[in-house]
Chains A and B, each alone.
Chain A
Amino acid sequence: MARTIIDKLWDDHLVANLDNGTSLLYIDRVFLHERTGSVTLKELAAAKRRVRDPGQVFCTMDHIVDTFPGRGDATRMPGGTEFITQTRAAAQAAGITLFDIGDERQGIVHVVSPEQGIALPGVTLVCPDSHTCTLGGLGALAWGIGSTEAEHALATKTLVVRRPRSMRINFTGRLAPGVGAKDLIMALIGAHTASGGVGYVIEFAGEAIRALPVEGRLTLCNMGVEFGAWTVIIAPDDTVYEYVQGRPYAPRGEVLERAIDYWRGLPSDADARFDKEIALDCSRLAPQVSWGTSPQHETGIDGVVPDPAGEADANRRQSMERAQAYMGLQPGTPLAGLPIQGAFIGSCTNSRLSDLRAAAEVLKGRKVASGVRAICVPGSTQVKRAAEREGLDKVFLEAGFEWRESGCSMCFYAGGESFGFEERVVSSTNRNFENRQGPHTRTHIASPVTVAASAIAGRLADARSIAG
């Protein structure tokens, strides 16, 4: 029978079919971070259980570590130091690999995981973090779980999973210049809502996907959870095999060849059936920007704040009204031109080397507008070093950006650091929820080039209008 990539990965990780309609799936890798991993390790130890295969478990410090240069265990997050020190102690006791503060491999979990070759095509990988779906970009079956489920994965090497329905989304056509993976995923969520993927495991396919480099695929898959999907995946191909080679935990030599042989068998068979298929034409997309407090509240940068009166669904209408009150916006206002006070480039969505390069292209020889606080936080220490080798740090600093140590930083309000009350921020992150970036901070999510262009203009701006 013809199988989808999801069928194949399910079959290959199936330990047992349980009689209550669930599957016991083998989990190849577990990744933890100090925010939610700390409690996982602590509870596991309290239950007198051990990590079954510590060699396949990794942990990083990213969520609440400080990102100012010269950082240590102190952090602005209330009680944060306790999370850091307890994670360190628990990780050591459990014998798992920790990418600690000061380690050259430290960084945001979903940036480090592909970078180190921990996430690979065809693996099952879980992490108590909702953006674990990012790794679908490599062809991994990776999803976010809670801390209690993470204990289960650590203690048993398995999870009990109910198989979601399958969906394939065909991204047809090619992206126009200046439009990238971030714009693509935002447009999808805008068109099909933040719950459009609820109950599904989704394969992203089509011409526009094949053309994306690995880092773009990671960006696209990162926001799969913002679409409500159980997880998302892109079939691996030569682009991915090339990316994987030479990474510290990736196979090499003869084993790599065997792995690639195996990976080549993973893409969905030509006649495989999905429970649902939809398509999105990419060729006419403009850069996207959010105007509200849900990722579905978004439109093209050339668009206007929509009028809730035009929304037939009462729930959605109320959510729009509430969002516009929070964001301080009126229907009909053009998005391009809205004055901003903050600009943030960072997060597991858009803080990899290609993101920084693209933003630096826009920033080169230009200055951040006065009155705008602009911050760049590379996704990992390795990304930071690579960017510095290319001189990108100088471009950011000369333009007036802060250049930080790696971590999640202002992607979320870790307690102390925020742009400020009612400040309007353009951000390369994935969530524009109320208070996500700080009390009453007004977040507009967008691509790194849109953030860079807006930082220079001092208002939301289309990078294509200032490029060249």
Chain B
Amino acid sequence: MEQFTSITAIAAPLLRINIDTDAIIPSREMRTVGKTGLARGMFAGWRYKAPGSREENPDFILNREPYRQARILLSGANFGCGSSREHAVWALHEWGIRSIIAPSFGAIFASNCVRNGILPVVLDNAIVESLARHVQADPAKHLLTVSLVDCTVSTVAGERHGFTIPPADREMLLEGLDAIAVTLKRDDEIRAFQERDRQRRPWIYL
């Protein structure tokens, strides 16, 4: 899995609440069985002028310079709510997003991010809005730095905001661990659980 330690990049404010995974990657854009080829469909409903077309809507922020180079998204509460489709994360990652800063996230989406090298940062709405204002003043120069090493978001003006992230998520991102391999080291414990459990709940073991 891809690691995340720290990035300094252009941030794009997309300050809507409840941005759902259907909006991030519409179902019709998931055309092949796989994790790739999804970036073109990212935010398709907002990014293109008409359904199915690839004619860009110039009003959509990620179609404008310098936001086309954004690696960080600033967003409203409950980002990534809705469908569990991990394709939403794969699409964002393929397009170039490495960190999303929002007051809250859809639970499955946040967990999917961590498993794909994207850092979800939870900060108060007022801070997200102030970061957005700062960025918008000069997006090409007002880069944000998101560091997982010291768990801070900072601006070029020297403003710093600490954030918290569950230790397990931090570890997974910093080390880029293969979660399955880590768990399989506990194979004995899993087997022992099954043996005990089979006595207690035999109906589970079909």
Contact = CB atoms under 8 A, between A and B. Distances in A.
B18 A15 contact: no
A10 interface: no
Interface string B82-115: 1111100100000000000000111110011001
Given A20-B168, A322-B16, A413-B27, 13 more contacts: A16-B186, A18-B168, A28-B204, A128-B84, A144-B84, A146-B112, A156-B180, A198-B78, A256-B203, A296-B18, A319-B17, A433-B82, A436-B22
Contact of A149 (B18, B51, B115): B115
Given A20-B167, A21-B166, A39-B35, A156 B82 contact: no
Interface residues of A, number: 80
A49 B180 contact: yes
Contact of A435 (B15, B32, B45, B112): B45
Interface residues of B, number: 61
A160 B169 CA distance: 11
Contacts of A148: 86, 112, 115-116, 179
Greatest chain A CB density within 10 A among B18, B51, B116, B204 is at B18
A319 B86 CA distance: 25
A333 B23 CA distance: 27
Contact of B179 (A55, A160, A256): A160
B39 to A, nearest CB: 16
Interface in A193-228: 194-195, 198-199, 225, 228
Interface stretch (A78-86, A355-363, A379-387, A399-407): A78-86
A413 B106 CA distance: 21
Greatest chain A CB density within 10 A among B51, B83, B186, B200 is at B83
Interface in A122-153: 122-123, 128-130, 144-149, 151-152
Interface in B167-195: 167-168, 171, 179-180, 183-184, 186, 189-190, 193-194
B104 A198 contact: yes
A447 to B, nearest CB: 21
A431 B200 CA distance: 39
Given A15-B186, A156-B184, A228-B81, A36 B86 contact: yes
Contact of B16 (A20, A258, A318, A435): A318
A255 B201 CA distance: 9
B33 A42 contact: yes
Interface in A387-416: 412-415
A194 B86 CA distance: 20
A465 interface: no
B32 to A, nearest CB: 6
Interface string B29-66: 01111110000000001000011100000000000000
Contact of A144 (B108, B189, B200): B108
B157 interface: no
Given A42-B33, A435-B22, A146 B76 contact: no
B124 interface: no
Interface in A217-251: 225, 228, 230, 249-251
B108 A146 contact: yes
B125 interface: yes
A106 interface: no
Contacts of B45: 434-435, 439
Given A15-B189, A15-B190, A160 B168 contact: yes
B202 to A, nearest CB: 6
B51 A195 contact: no
B51 to A, nearest CB: 3
A434 B23 contact: yes
**A-B pairs with lowest CB-CB distance, top 6:** A439-B51, A251-B203, A79-B31, A146-B112, A146-B86, A20-B168
Contacts of B206: 55-56, 249
A55 B205 CA distance: 8
Contact of B84 (A43, A130, A164, A296): A130
Given A26-B190, A36-B86, A230 B22 contact: no
Interface in A314-361: 315-316, 318-319, 322
A21 B189 contact: no
Greatest chain A CB density within 10 A among B26, B105, B203 is at B203
Greatest chain B CB density within 10 A among A26, A83, A195 is at A195
B197 interface: yes
A83 B33 contact: yes
A194 B183 CA distance: 34
B146 interface: no
A67 to B, nearest CB: 15
A195 B78 contact: yes
Given A78-B31, A120-B203, A315-B17, A145 B180 contact: no
A128 B166 CA distance: 22
Contact of A146 (B15, B89, B205): B89
